[in-house]
Amino acid sequence: MRSDIKRVAVQLWLTLRFPLVSIVAGLLVGAILILIAGKSPIIAYTALFQGSFGGVDKIGETLFKMTPILLTGLSFSIAFRTGLFNIGGEGQFLAGAITAIITGWFFQDLPHLILILIMLISAIIAGGAWASIAGILKAKMGIHEVITTIMLNYTALYLVNYIVRAVMNPQILMGTKAEAHTVSLPDVARLTKLKDVFEIFGRSSVHTGIFIAIGCALFMYFILFKTTVGYELRAGGLSPDAAEYGGIKKSKNIIMAMGISGGLAGLAGAVNVMGITYYVAQSSTTPGYGFDGIAVGLVGGLHPIGNIASSFLFGILSNGARRMQLEGIPKEVIAIIQGVIIVFIASQYIIKIVYKKKKEKEIKREKLRAEQGNEGEVQ
């Protein structure tokens, strides 16, 4: 019994040590930058954690910040586990967001729950389809997905800008004056805010999207680790050729993984639109949730449950950033902390790889020694 506990603890430490070291490193660099800004890191970090934990409403706000990045984190993770680098979360997020607006607007006569379901599903399909362009090009023509997904991000940005201006604009649909954003979703197409049901959530913006996001994380855990499909996806990521030899189709795997990954990012876009913004605005830059998802996924160890933890952490950081700003600390410190965390995570993969390679070399050397030994005997 006791050894069991010890075993679990050791296992937990082995899994968590890399992310923890990275987070500590990020916070340390952040502390230095806060000092340079002439402020006290202790006051800053106290403000940060009070801003994120000091009361149910503060926690609600943290959960709100966590919602879209948990979904984009899952999106990145599932692709990465299959050996694909989906850097196109931004574009897929936008595809989902604008699709939710379109379906939400045109089907607004449907009952609430059915409408919500249609919006979510259509956004998943849109995000998935957008990502599948990269998936198909990779599977059929071997074109690297990093370049295609980057190109698709900006293509989506301008396509959405066009739709905002020329298709879904209030001027066109309602005859009012032109706006820099789409029509707003009617009440029936919005996700419920928790504060409207439970007063305790105060003024926080957390909405039912958080349940959708956590539900997706659990569902992805189930798919990845408890089904044949998940096994095939993971096998494809570990060693595509061996997987192919074992009867797993590489190209089918790639297209499916990109589809699921894009679907999750599209869902993130829909949930964000339905839960908080209610419209999509014209923009000169991509929204950023897709890039945040890369950080969330990497810190979460590419594991669905790990993603819940890491998105919560990034929720704390981005929620606390506002509070820190009130203390006169540049909120960019948070972005730098995030960047440093990713640098360290990237470097830790290296430690793992180097460690593994060293072991392989040792084995090789021993083999060589054994062979030479044999030769000696023959002579």
Query: Where along the sequence are the contacts to other proteins (CB under 8 A)?
Result: 33, 36-37, 85, 87, 133, 137, 141, 143-144, 146-148, 150-155, 157-159, 161-162, 165-166, 284-286, 291, 294-295, 298, 330, 332-336, 338-340, 342-343, 345-347, 349-350, 353-354, 357
Q: Which is nearer to other proteins, 79 or 194 (CB)?
A: 79
Rg (CA), the chain: 23
- Closest separation between CB of residue 335 and other proteins, Å? 3
The CA distances from residue 59 to 77, 194, 207, 281, in Å, are: 25, 12, 12, 28
- Closest separation between CB of residue 207 and other proteins, Å? 27
Q: What share of the chain is helix, strand, coil (3-state, %, to 5)?
A: 80, 0, 20
- Closest separation between CB of residue 368 and other proteins, Å? 12
Residues sharing a CB contact under 8 Å with residue 117, sequence separation 6 or more, in sequence order: none
**373 vs 209: CA distance, rounded Å:** 65
352 — alpha (psi -120 to 50), left (phi > 0) or beta? alpha
Q: Which is nearer to other proteins, 85 or 222 (CB)?
A: 85
Amino acid letter, 190: R
- Closest separation between CB of residue 328 and other proteins, Å? 10
- Closest separation between CB of residue 288 and other proteins, Å? 9
Angle in degrees, 0-180, between the axes of helices 89-106 and 145-166, rounded to the nearest 10:
30
Q: Which is nearer to other proteins, 332 or 366 (CB)?
A: 332
* Tokens, residue 32: 């230095």
Q: Which is nearer to other proteins, 30 or 60 (CB)?
A: 30
- Closest separation between CB of residue 313 and other proteins, Å? 15
**Residue 227 per-residue DSSP state:** S
- Closest separation between CB of residue 322 and other proteins, Å? 14
Q: Which is nearer to other proteins, 189 or 258 (CB)?
A: 258
Bridge partners, 281 (sequence order) = 181
Cα-flanking dihedrals φ and ψ of residue 8, to 5°?
-60, -40
**57 vs 39: CA distance, rounded Å:** 27
Q: Which is nearer to other proteins, 143 or 218 (CB)?
A: 143
Q: How many CB atoms lie within 10 A of CB 202?
A: 14
Q: Which is nearer to other proteins, 8 or 346 (CB)?
A: 346
- Closest separation between CB of residue 69 and other proteins, Å? 13
Contact between 83 and 148 (Cβ < 8 Å): no
Q: Which is nearer to other proteins, 122 or 149 (CB)?
A: 149
